[in-house]
Structure 1
Amino acid sequence: MQLLTGFSLGCLAVVFLVVLRDFRHLLVGKVFLWVLLAAAAFVSSRVAGQQYQWLLGDIMTTLPAAFWLLCLLAFSPRPRANPVWVVLALYSFIPPALSRPFGGADPEAAWWLHWLGFKVPQFAEYILILSGLWITAVHWRNDLVEGRRKLRFALLVSVGATLLCVTVSLNHGLDTSKLVAGMVGLATLLVGFLLLKGQDGVLLDMQSVATTPGNNEAHHASAIEQTEPAPETDPSHEMAEQLRQLMEEEHFYRTEKLTLKKLAERMSLPEYRVRAIINGTFNYRNFNDYVNQMRIEEACNRLVTEPDTPIQNIALDIGYRTLSSFNRAFKELKQQTPTEYRQSRQ
């Protein structure tokens, strides 16, 4: 057991130092550091003395909430924490920490203290873990950064499975120490390898950061410039030019329910090639951002030049299925509704 614990703690320490060195200035990096610290607390709790168990227990109870927040910040195109989810995350570790000194972990304690302090937070932990895995998986196809796509897979398969085992063993008192310690070490090795191999953009969606209100206009100006294809010396110039003509001149972006797969089939190219062109040549990290940028630019032009055309008609013409989805995408890029934009330009 000591050997597995040492192996896992060593792997966690190496990855901790890598994240501390390269991502400590980012919020997602700070959350990742806490995930690693909480995992180390779990591994250490199997060999630590009784006097340290309460502290290690409080730290590792935060693991599901930290994992959910990590997935939200690293893999959601527009990270926004719903207040309900924030409350759920806080409830998953604060009541256990507060009720532990009063014996809330003991099933023989007052039923309300045991249930409100431990049982209900356990359900919250499972919900948070599943939500984090869902966030990681749902945007898989639209992610254009290869390193982050591999990191998604690592988190889904290794870290997600390990975290579920950790949570189940903690909540139900199962003796899976050796199994979980080995899984923690292997999962950490895999994640560390992916972080070292492709650091750029792995933990941060630069596209979403660029569209914050403070630098929104500068981003749009640069995004328009980035739609110019690469120089002719670039081997991918011909494919980039084909994509540019298809999207900008033939307005293929107006296609309803447009996906990367549909675009690749239309160009008769493998998906990975189209993904590489959009990411490497046009510098987009998310497929939906790429499509929405062109759709919203056309919408802006039509809102001004066609003042009598209903907004819903414009939304449907440029590829949105509903007015609500158009309004949401428009406000994310322009920081105002289509109606407000039209009125401000009259």
Structure 2
Amino acid sequence: MSVFFAHFAFAQMALCFILLLPLLKKSLSIKMFALLMLCGCGYLLSDLFGPLNKMSIVWWAGYLSGNSLPGVFWLVSLSVFSDREELKGWHFYVASMTLLIPTISTLIQLGFNFDLRQFTAFYGLATYGALGLELVLIGHALVVVIKNWQADLVQERRYMRGSVIGLIACYLVVVIVVEQLFNLQWSWLNMVKYVLLTMLTIAVNLLLFSLKEGTLFDPPVKKPQNILHKKAHSPELNRVLECMLNEKLYRQEGITISVFSRHLGIHEYKLRQIINGELNYRNFNDFLNFYRIQEVTENLSQSAHQQLPVLTLALDSGFRSLSSFNKAFKNKHGITPTEYRNQQALTN
């Protein structure tokens, strides 16, 4: 029976990968998720084809895929849930460590034909270091989910993303702890593992392909409305705009949509609909950054603020760090704040 569920889970992941193939060019998050499904298929190879020779191609495919899973999952979480987080080279380097550490260890054993367990320190570092890194990356993926949960303004997408990432994370943790950390070999565990994997893959496919486009992977983003000159204001939207323009609530450090909702006296669900539906913002932080960038842009243009450091202007407008400000500013203007200030100084 466990073999049946293993085949079924394999088929579900292979189906997901095939359905994602035409969409690969749309975004990096789709590429990463397709790679995750491909690694999942590889992870099951040894169970589908029985005990394999360690030097066979199929065994290596399964071994490399299984060790890649935690790192690829971490990259998926960053690319899917951190809407404005661009994957950098060091992200891929860290993710590759879950594969490189055990692979190097295995190659040493195969190449020199001896048991690394004789070298306790090296064996412990290679084995438990890799396991520790895998658990840290999965834990960080969950932190990314929680951190970006409130800022996402599309409720259906929030629950979809949280469910997919959360379920996969829990499954990986259980498998790592049971199979690798404690090395439990009870026969019924395989049945439980494959049943859970089957349920997970079915749920992922149903959520991924039965909901509207953009629920998990972002579609092309509509340009946000010009909220300073939007004419047909609803009473609630008027209150939102007044709070931003007059009270400058965006300056408040650590402001969340829950805090904003209580301040306005508007239910959080309704406030999400206003900012997303009427203004086309999909992320609350992008909405706040519109005002923050606007304020800093005006200050950089004024001679009265020429002596103030860019960092001071950024922090005063509500940004928490210079790096996040620089990135948001460059996305808006195409140049750095310092370059913008210099341009304005030449024209004034």
Task: Tell me: CA distance 1:108–1:162, structure 2 relative to 1, closer, same or farther (3 Å).
Answer: same
Deviates more, 1:158-167 or 1:65-74: 158-167
The aligned counterpart of 1:344 is 343
Establish whether residue 131 from structure 1 lines up as the match of residue 131 from structure 2: no
Counterpart residue number, 2:78 = 72
2:275 to 278, 285, 307: 278
Alignment pair present for 1:296 and 2:293:
yes
> Residues 38, 327 of structure 1: CA spacing in aligned structure 2 closer, same or farther, 3 A cutoff?
closer
**Is 1:54 the equivalent of 2:64?**
no
Q: Which moved more, 1:154-163 or 1:81-90?
A: 81-90
Structure 2 vs 1, CA of residues 2 and 228 (structure 1 numbering), >3 Å: closer, same or farther?
farther
- In structure 1, stretches of 5+ residues that fail to align are 211-218
Query: What CA distance in whole angstroms lies between the structure 1 residues aligned with 2:73 and 2:263?
Result: 38
Q: 1:213 matched to which residue of 2?
A: none
Q: Any conservation in 1 of the 2:39–2:65 contact (CA below 8 Å)? A: yes
| 1:211-250 pair list within 5 angstroms | 222-223=223-224, 225=226, 229=230, 237-250=234-247
Q: Using a 3 Å threshold, how does the CA distance of structure 1 residues 87 and 314 change in structure 2: closer, same or farther?
A: closer
Q: Distance in 2 between matches of 1:119 and 1:258?
A: 40
| Mapped contact 1:75–1:205 kept (Cα < 8 A) | no
**1:189 maps to what in 2?**
202
The CA deviation at 1:67 is 0.3
Give RMSD over aligned pairs: 3.2
Alpha-carbon contact 2:227-2:241 (below 8 Å) kept: no
Deviation per residue, 1:56-95 (Å, 9 max, x gap): 1111110001001101111113324465544332221023
For normalisation by structure 1, the TM-score amounts to 0.81
- Residues 44 and 62, structure 2, Cα contact 8 Å, conserved in 1: no
Unaligned runs of 5+ in 2: none
2:46–2:59 Cα contact (<8 Å) kept: yes
Identity fraction in percent? 28
CA contact (8 A) 2:145 2:165 kept: yes
AA aligned to 1:188 is T
Cα distance between partner residues in 1 of 2:115 and 2:266: 60
Residue 19 of structure 1 is matched in structure 2 by 20
**Structure 1 pair 25/109, CA: closer, same or farther in 2 (3 Å)?**
farther
Query: Does the CA-based 8 Å contact 2:225-2:279 persist in structure 1?
Result: no
Number of positions where the alignment pairs a residue of Structure 1 with one of Structure 2: 330
Residue 174, structure 1, aligned to residue 171, structure 2:
no
Distance across 1 between alignment mates of 2:6 and 2:32? 23
Structure 2 residue matching 1:177: 3-state secondary structure: helix
- In the alignment, the residues of structure 2 paired with residue 313 and residue 330 of structure 1 have an alpha-carbon distance, to the nearest angstrom, of 15
CA deviation string 1:120-157 (max 9, x = no partner): 22222222211222112211101112233112321343
CA distance in structure 2 between the partners assigned to 1:30 and 1:326 by the alignment: 28
Contact conserved, 1:168 with 1:174, CA < 8 A, in 2?
Answer: no
Counterpart position of 1:4: 5
Q: Could you say if the C-alpha distance between residues 20 and 106 of structure 1 is closer, same or farther in structure 2, counting changes exceeding 3 Å? A: farther
For the Cα contact (< 8 Å) 1:226–1:283, is it kept in 2? Answer: no
Question: 1:10 is matched by which residue type in structure 2?
Answer: A
Letter in 2 for 1:200: E
In structure 2, relative to structure 1, the CA distance for the partners of 1:318 and 1:91 (3 Å cut) is closer
Partner of 2:266: 269
